[in-house]
Amino acid sequence: MFGASLYRSSLLELWWVVACSKRFAGRALLCVIGLGLSACKPQLTQVNHSTPVTTSSHAPESAHAHTNRLAREKSPYLLQHQFNPVDWHAWGEEAFAKARQENKPIFLSIGYSTCHWCHVMERESFESETLAAYLNEHFVSIKVDREERPDVDKIYMTFVQATSGQGGWPLNCFLTPDLKPFYGGTYFPPESKYGRPSFLDLLKHINQLWETRHGDVTNSAAQLHGQLEQMTAKELTNGLLLTRSVLSNAAAQLKESYDPRNGGFGDAPKFPQPSQPAFLLRYGARFGDQEAVKMVLNTCDHMAAGGIHDQLGGGFARYSVDAHWLVPHFEKMLYDNAQLANLYLDAHLVSGETRYADTARDIIAYVLRDMTHPDGGFYSAEDADSEGKEGKFYCWTRAELSKLLTPEEFNVAVRYFGITGEGNFVDHSDPNPLPNQNVLSIVDPNLPKADAPLLESAKSKMFAARAKRVRPHLDDKVLASWNGLMLGALARAYAILGDKSYLTAAEKNLAFLQAKLWDPSTRTLYHRWRDGQRDSVQLQQAYAYLLSGVLDLYEATIEPRHLDFAIALADTMLAKFYDAGQGGFWQSADAADLILRVKEDYDGAEPSGNSVATLALLRLSAITSKKEYQQAAEKTLRLFGPRLQNLSQAVPYMLLAFDFSLEEPRRVVIAGDPSAPDALALLRAAHAVYQPGKVVLGTGGAVEPFAKTLPAKDGAMVYLCTGTACQPPTREVGKIKEMLK
């Protein structure tokens, strides 16, 4: 599996994919008639993570002999390919019509702008005049940014996983002109290696098949499409009664994969996958399983001390290539950092330890400093590479530090970060690999207190020196979905930690999204904004993530206008994406350019839109008493009941929703002027206890009717209610915390 391109699956998820692949007998066609076994076997080869990259978007002017259609696009990933000699099209009818008119197969290549192996394949293949000439003559080539079109990616990723046993990016797939896939894989090398044919040889085989066995290929594609439809179809069954055993079974499975030495779950490469520890933490706190809680806290400690955590600039990389969180794949994604900020906030609430709050602050500082548009939107990602070398921006040599720091600072930094002469990161780039590189991690956290000022001085100098280096590429598109995640993290950080700058940033972000991506006249949320333009794509994931974030902001402020917007998002999401017959949410509103409508059912690096929508609707129903939200959520849980029962590790975020649904949530009702100082103090108290089975609401706006009857008495008051029964009201902070515990 390939570096930054890795499509992370649990062992159980991988088992499911392999089991499904047995239904794809039609894939044998390509093996039998010319591609050979090496092209058809599961592609599980591990390759090095540090191959050098030169993206064409940064190529010298002399390299721009070609400018293709992608120059018209806004996606940073597509723009990276605008000067390729390949005659690229964007995903759309222009490309589809050309394939139909010329009766050519489509070569579909999917990736994202901070994908290391996407850069590698571009440099090796898509910048090759010879290979481009062959593609242009025999294929219609399409580039897709999977972050802008996850619905397109989901379909063809499912196909490649099912037919090859693995998936990743770049995702390369061959389609008939009616968009049905008949062969696909991930990275294809320019020469035959890693058990793969060369990319040009593969293209020649595909073209020969298309010309000489055209009927067989199209029939196989039709058969494969039918099997893909069957595999992705979900039907509502009312016979499965889900009980709390679903939670205990899922926790037991997750605990079995725990790494007691290094923290985390599973082996290398290690992804945080925040939904998993978030579920285990909730399970442990809810059922008194202190072992589960300790596993999560230990994981948080190891991640925060590891090289996956940027020890100078804050934020987390996407994953580590080893089991002990040391050497990361250095790209930083907004969605990871948003979810990890929430996880560390939860760890702080559960444990009372300030170090987890400090890590959450560290993540937020990074996002607000390096990942924020001046008007408040949050950018998507930073690359792993700078100057053609992975990690160059982040790594240090011992000699470099000895020149930068005073002898006293140097000695402290060497001990604290474990700096060695030979380094701990091997740069395999060619030519001229960088020698003796050190990824910073906390090796000796127990420095004498007297050394703390020296360490802070050293870190300050190192950060300033690093800021003068060439930064990695920034993917500056603003996605409604990922912004919703970060909005929620900021709102919760304000509610829990009390830093008003977080609220300011959250409010500014929401205003940006409403101005740039929300059309109030049609109640439509678009997905991507960049460089003054939004796209025309609507995705359920965007509505669900933003709904969740806006609910967090409402609960942090009890401002009625935020609740009104949450209701508008929920109502539109239900109208556009909800399957009222079977339950669950379609990934896309418009299926005109898709061969399938899919209901996402996997909580991986990002939680699925179905999982996030289910929990958000349950919360919104508890706040507003609107039963249609609860009914849609419960029907979605029933639809995914077999998934929860049989493959719970694949849906840890949906387990959070299922846990929330098991009993009526407690409602913390704050009566009084929400902007008054006494109300703000009570709000802080309401959020100071880890109690995920609660909602916080005011008495104004679109809240449930019973809350409106609860009066303030000589200032703000707190009522803790279940149904129409409430405990005696109080304004004592200590009493509120005790009631919630």
Adjacent-strand bridge partners of 106: 140, 175
3-state SS, 436-476, equals CEECCCCCCCCCCHHHHHHHHHHHHHHHHHHHCCCCCCEEC
Please, which residues have CB within 8 angstroms of residue 61's CB and are 6 or more apart in sequence?
none
Domains within the chain, CATH numbers bracketed: 3-232 (3.40.30.10), 266-475 (no CATH), 664-741 (3.40.30)
The confidence score (pLDDT) of residue 194 equals 67
- The type of residue at 244 is R
pLDDT > 90: percent of the chain: 82
The confidence score (pLDDT) of residue 741 equals 84
Higher pLDDT, residue 22 or 546: 546
- Contact between 8 and 606 (Cβ < 8 Å): no
The confidence score (pLDDT) of residue 591 equals 76
The confidence score (pLDDT) of residue 64 equals 66
393-404: average pLDDT: 97
Adjacent-strand bridge partners of 143: 90, 109
pLDDT tens per residue, range 160-215: 999 888 889 999 999 999 999 999 999 999 998 767 789 999 999 999 999 999 99
pLDDT > 70: percent of the chain: 91
Between CA 393 and CA 330 the distance in angstroms is 9
Is pLDDT above 90 for 338?
A: yes
pLDDT tens per residue, range 475-515: 999 999 999 999 999 999 999 999 999 999 999 999 999 99
CB atoms within 10 A of CB 627: 9
CB atoms within 10 A of CB 504: 14
Computed over every residue of the chain, the mean pLDDT equals: 90
Over its C-alpha atoms, the chain yields an Rg (Å, rounded) of 26
pLDDT tens per residue, range 707-721: 999 999 889 999 999
The angle formed by the CA atoms of residues 702, 703 and 708, to the nearest 5 degrees, is 110
- For residue 314 the two structure tokens come to 């804050």
Beta strands 725-726 and 717-722, pairing class: antiparallel
The confidence score (pLDDT) of residue 239 equals 65
The confidence score (pLDDT) of residue 57 equals 41
Among residues 705, 701, 704, the alpha carbon closest in space to that of 560 is found at: 701
Between CA 667 and CA 708 the distance in angstroms is 13
Choice among 76-80, 235-239, 600-604 with the minimum mean pLDDT: 235-239
- For residue 79 the two structure tokens come to 């723009």
- Contact between 482 and 528 (Cβ < 8 Å): no
CB atoms within 10 A of CB 54: 17
Higher pLDDT, residue 64 or 190: 190
Between CA 500 and CA 520 the distance in angstroms is 28
Between CA 126 and CA 694 the distance in angstroms is 52
Distances (CA, A) of 200 to 13, 205, 388, 459, 664: 32, 9, 25, 49, 60
pLDDT tens per residue, range 677-690: 989 999 999 999 99
Distances (CA, A) of 86 to 82, 143, 199: 9, 10, 14
Higher pLDDT, residue 193 or 589: 589
| 3-state SS assignment for residue 265 | strand
The angle formed by the CA atoms of residues 533, 509 and 274, to the nearest 5 degrees, is 105
Q: What share of the chain is helix, strand, coil (3-state, %, to 5)?
A: 50, 10, 35
pLDDT tens per residue, range 414-438: 999 999 999 999 887 777 889 999 9
Q: Which of 62-76, 182-196, 615-629 has the highest average model confidence (pLDDT)? A: 615-629
Adjacent-strand bridge partners of 478: 529
Is pLDDT above 50 for 293?
A: yes
The confidence score (pLDDT) of residue 65 equals 73
Is pLDDT above 60 for 54?
A: no
- Per DSSP, 585 falls in state B
Q: In 468-560, which ranges are E strands?
A: 474-475, 478-479, 518-519, 524-525, 528-530, 533-534
Characterize 265-297 residue by residue with b for buried, 16 or more Cβ atoms within 10 angstroms of its Cβ, and e for exposed.
Answer: bbebbbbbbbbbbbbbbbbbbbeebeebbebbb
The confidence score (pLDDT) of residue 431 equals 76
- Contact between 129 and 135 (Cβ < 8 Å): no
Adjacent-strand bridge partners of 534: 529
- For residue 709 the two structure tokens come to 């009857």
The alpha helices in 517-559, defined as continuous H runs, are: 540-557
The confidence score (pLDDT) of residue 287 equals 95
